[in-house]
Amino acid sequence: MPPLHGHRAGFHEAVSRPALPGEGVLVTDEHTGLQQARIVRHPVFGGQLFLDGDLQISESDAAYGIAMTNPLLGLERLERIAILGGGDGGVLWQLLRSLEPRTPRPRVTLVEIDARVIELCRAHLPAVCGDAFAHADADLRVGDAFAWIADARGLDAVIYDLTMDPVREGQSRDAFVRHIVALAARALRPGGVFSMQCCGHGHADPADRAERRRLLPVIRDAIDAHFQDRCEQEVLIPSYRDLWTFLCARTPA
């Protein structure tokens, strides 16, 4: 299976499809060399990023970034943070703004495989990414997030903002989930925090509902094998038109 860079959960929901003709205005549509990137302006949800036809984020979806970053804010020691994926900059921008009162401010490394996605979002979705990509506390790395996290150690927090689809030929989704959770646990210091998006409720798609029922226990088991204090949130993401599950946990101190 080739690398997939579509919907963050790897689900192809009816609610995540592009707006119908007349519902949105095309801003840009190009192949980056890795994936098809399209930005449209929706009359309700504002600017939207689609990758390979799957909705990633809209200007209406600040709740997504808040859900991903809030679990980190209770850490007393928060100096080194990694965001895996998140090339639209929304999670990074939310985190940087939330960390402004801290002294000294943490360093946030974002690892994104597609530099062109960063460029397009910076140019066309400033309401999503703000000034995140030029922020003094942001360290942008263009490359393979899985390879990067495999070598990382001693991080205070890791945010997983990537697909749940396997990126290796022949790898099952369950094996992929277990692998990424183990990598994050190894990269974190004792007492570090892992935050991730999991999946939607599949409001409009019975197949997605069935996959959610199967996948969530796999994710929980993988987390419980390496972490403690697992916590889940169910958050309405406006442009997904669905509740989305987010999960966080800590490594044993």
pLDDT tens for each residue of 170-208 = 889 999 999 999 999 999 999 999 999 999 999 888 998
Q: What dihedral angle (degrees, nearest 10) is formed by the CA atoms of 176, 182, 188, 190?
A: 150
Question: Which of 6, 39, 58 lies at the terminal end of a domain, its last residue?
Answer: 58
Residues 95 and 193 in one domain: yes
Contact 200, 240 (CB under 8 A): yes
Which pLDDT score, from 0 to 100, does residue 169 have?
81
Q: Is the pLDDT of residue 117 over 70?
A: yes
Which pLDDT score, from 0 to 100, does residue 24 have?
81
Residues 100 and 225 in one domain: yes
Residues 183 and 80 in one domain: yes
- Among residues 161, 165, 205, 242, the one annotated as catalytic is 161
- Mean pLDDT, residues 94-120 taken together: 96
CB within 8 A of 135, min separation 6: which ones?
Answer: 92, 96
Per residue in 208-222, pLDDT tens? Answer: 899 999 999 999 999
- Mean pLDDT, residues 25-54 taken together: 96
Residues 184 and 245 in one domain: yes
Residues 77 and 54 in one domain: no
Residues 38 and 66 in one domain: no
CB within 8 A of 231, min separation 6: which ones?
Answer: 71, 247, 248, 249
Phi, psi dihedrals of residue 225, rounded to the nearest 5°? -75, -20
- Mean pLDDT, residues 94-117 taken together: 95
How many domains is the chain built from? 2
**Amino acid symbol at 202:** G
Residues 20 and 96 in one domain: no
87 in a structural domain:
yes
pLDDT band, residue 134 (cuts 50/70/90): very high
- Give dist(CA 1, CA 168) in Å, integer: 6
Residue 91 CA: distances (Å) to CA of 33, 86, 94, 167? 24, 7, 5, 22
**107 beta partners:** 80
165 is catalytic: no
- Mean pLDDT, residues 108-114 taken together: 98
pLDDT band, residue 88 (cuts 50/70/90): very high
- Mean pLDDT, residues 139-152 taken together: 97
CA 104 to chain centroid:
26
Residues 49 and 127 in one domain: no
Which pLDDT score, from 0 to 100, does residue 8 have?
52
Q: Is the pLDDT of residue 4 over 50?
A: no
235: containing domain? 62-250
Mean pLDDT of the chain: 91
